[in-house]
Amino acid sequence: MDVTSCFSATYGEARQKFLQACEAAGATVFSHRNPNSGPDGGELFADTAWIGPFDASRVLVASSATHGVEGHCGSGCQIGHLRAGDYENLPADTAVLLVHAINPYGFAWSRRVTEDNVDFNRNHIDFDEPVPANPNYGSVHAMLVPDDWQGAARQAAEDAIKEFIAENGQMHFQACVTGGQYEFADGLFYGGVRPTWSRHTLERIIADRLRGRRAVAVIDYHTGLGPYGHGELICVHEPGSEALNRARAWYGPDVTSPAEGSSASAVVEGSIADTYERQLSEETVLTVVAIEYGTLPVLDVLNALRADNWLHLYGDVDSELGREIKAQMRAAFYQDQDDWKSMIFGRSEEITRQALTGLRQV
Ligand SMILES: [Zn+2]
């Protein structure tokens, strides 16, 4: 199989390839229509595919595009596994649920966020409770979002960031920016004030397809952190929990934990693991991991996010600068190169097999 041909240049191409691969594999597809449209006017869907017995008590879930533009990677892996037959000959009593483009708006528009400028992986808090405070974000917000991108305000922002990093270190800067915040709707890593369309959709998918199963293993595909082509497995279950121990038993001791300080990721609030836990953990043995693939250095990735945030606040997507920024976004989250795709897919094959082997032991 040609791995590189499984990846797509656009959301529309990815969806078409995914649906074709599902049909060829005999998967059962359900589609959830997002009310928005893509930049080409095309319709947007989160699609799910079920492979294996409908009454299986063990289910592997592989989910793409939690962070929109990162879907180039996750979709490519899902399509690759379908074409390679990796979801055929499953262990007894086991099924696979693919969630393709849970944030289709972000995928189509080359954004990391949803249609409401929300970071979907910070949106899973309990909104009936007071939202988590992140005073650190307030200290960097102004330098992240200057009101021009090519003039004096931008230059002042760059100088302020350099000074902040010199004083506090890059990891602290990254933690301030990326931990999640619920105060600045025009800012980065904003968790929102209510559940997004993508969260409602995920809740429906979990309720319809996963409730009552004995064991569920989730692999959520991400990009943008870590060394080029490297796949870090991140587990946000609590340190010392059975779920974190199980993740390490299945995938190896190098599974990282942001709470333990061993991950390239900062500790984040409201990740999708919270929704899976809320809906499933009482009766299901649940093991959630994120696979985080490296692309470019972290400051390049953050700069692409700042540019994209500026573009949607103040700029014109349909201008030369707009197209430049969109290319910058794609490069930050999707390295359109054969070696990168091979590295991505090889690691994905490994963890898919590990997850299926682990599920058998539950
Ligand atoms: Zn991500």
What's at 275, amino acid-wise?
A: T
CA 93 to centroid of ligand 1, rounded, Å: 31
CA 89 to centroid of ligand 1, rounded, Å: 30
Domains of the chain, by residue range, sit at: 3-127+192-296+329-360, 135-187+301-327
281 vs 318: which has the higher pLDDT: 318
Q: Which residues lie below 8 Å from residue 4, measured CB to CB, with a gap of 6+?
A: 338, 341, 342
CA 152 to centroid of ligand 1, rounded, Å: 31
Task: Tell me what the mean pLDDT of segment 230-243 comes to.
Answer: 96
CA 22 to centroid of ligand 1, rounded, Å: 24
CA 188 to centroid of ligand 1, rounded, Å: 13
**What pLDDT shows up at residue 285?**
97
Rounded CA separation 86/25 (Å): 10
Task: Tell me what the mean pLDDT of segment 76-85 comes to.
Answer: 98
> What superfamily does domain 3-127+192-296+329-360 belong to in CATH?
Zn peptidases (3.40.630.10)
CA 224 to centroid of ligand 1, rounded, Å: 7
CA 345 to centroid of ligand 1, rounded, Å: 17
CA 291 to centroid of ligand 1, rounded, Å: 9
Quote the DSSP letter at residue 66: T
**Number of C-alpha atoms within 13 angstroms, CB side, residue 228?**
10
Average pLDDT of every residue of the chain:
96
Among residues of the chain, what percentage have pLDDT more than 70? 100
State yes or no: pLDDT of 281 exceeds 80: no
CA 1 to centroid of ligand 1, rounded, Å: 27
| Look-up of token digits 């319809």 | 208
DSSP assignment of 12-37, as one string?
A: HHHHHHHHHHHHHHT-EEEEEEEEEE
Rounded CA separation 127/195 (Å): 8
Task: Give tens-digit pLDDT for 125-145.
Answer: 999 999 999 889 999 999 999
Query: In DSSP terms, which residues pair with 219 in a beta bridge?
Result: 62, 289
Closest by CA to 306, choosing from 294, 319, 315, 295, is: 315
Task: Give tens-digit pLDDT for 156-184.
Answer: 999 999 999 999 999 899 989 998 999 99
Task: Tell me what the mean pLDDT of segment 78-83 comes to.
Answer: 98
Paired tokens of 297: 């250095």
Rounded CA separation 58/60 (Å): 7
Task: Give yes or no for a contact between 342 and 5, defined as CB atoms under 8 angstroms apart.
Answer: no
Helices (H) and strands (E) in the chain, counts: 13, 7
State yes or no: pLDDT of 108 exceeds 90: yes
CA 149 to chain centroid: 27
Rounded CA separation 182/164 (Å): 22
State yes or no: pLDDT of 14 exceeds 90: yes
Task: Give yes or no for a contact between 76 and 48, defined as CB atoms under 8 angstroms apart.
Answer: no
Cut 0.75: pTM above it: yes
CA 61 to centroid of ligand 1, rounded, Å: 17
* Largest separation between any pair of C-alpha atoms in the chain: 63
Q: Assign 338 a pLDDT band (cuts: 50, 70, 90).
A: very high
DSSP assignment of 176-225, as one string?
A: HHHS-BSS-TTSSSB--SS--HHHHHHHHHIIIIITT-SEEEEEEEEEEE
Rounded CA separation 210/172 (Å): 38
Rounded CA separation 328/278 (Å): 36
Among residues of the chain, what percentage have pLDDT more than 90? 94
Task: Give yes or no for a contact between 337 and 358, defined as CB atoms under 8 angstroms apart.
Answer: no
Secondary structure of the chain: what % helix, strand, coil (to 5)?
A: 45, 15, 35
